[in-house]
Amino acid sequence: MAKTALLAKLTAKEGKRDELLAVIGDIGMSNAAGEPGTEVYAAHKDQNDADVVWFYELYSDQAALVAHGGSEQMKVFGRAMKDLMAGRPELTFLDPAVAKGLEF
């Protein structure tokens, strides 16, 4: 089975990025910790935009990505982020090819 990845751009409402990161660190990370098919779940601050968070996610296969996205925990996570977001996340789906530190 081929691994799959996701790059997500989350834009917080002005000045709300730290609150968004707190929700990610609390609810988002606890959700991902319980998902065996979620191999990497990493949030990054954008160095050039104080309101943007980039997420890199790596899954063991497409089924793991689908299970993550459709879980009840993700619905809770989405509701917790709703008032902090300036809009919908921008999602880019990826087929991993080459990396240091990750096995494909």
pLDDT at 1: 67
Per 3-state DSSP, what percentage of the chain is helix, strand, and coil (rounded to 5)?
Answer: 35, 30, 35
What's this model's pTM, rounded to 2 decimal places?
0.91
Which listed CATH number (3.30.300.180, 3.40.50.2020, 2.30.40.10, 3.30.70.100) goes with 4-92?
3.30.70.100
pLDDT at 83: 95
Q: State the residue for tokens 């989405």.
A: 78
Burial degree of 24 (CB within 10 A; 0-12, 13-18, 19+): buried
Domain boundary assignment for the chain: 4-92
Q: What tokens does 66 get?
A: 């689908």
pLDDT, block means (10 residues), the chain with 104 residues: 94 97 93 92 97 97 93 91 96 94 85
Q: Is 94 left (phi over 0), alpha (psi -120 to 50) or beta?
A: beta
pLDDT at 20: 97
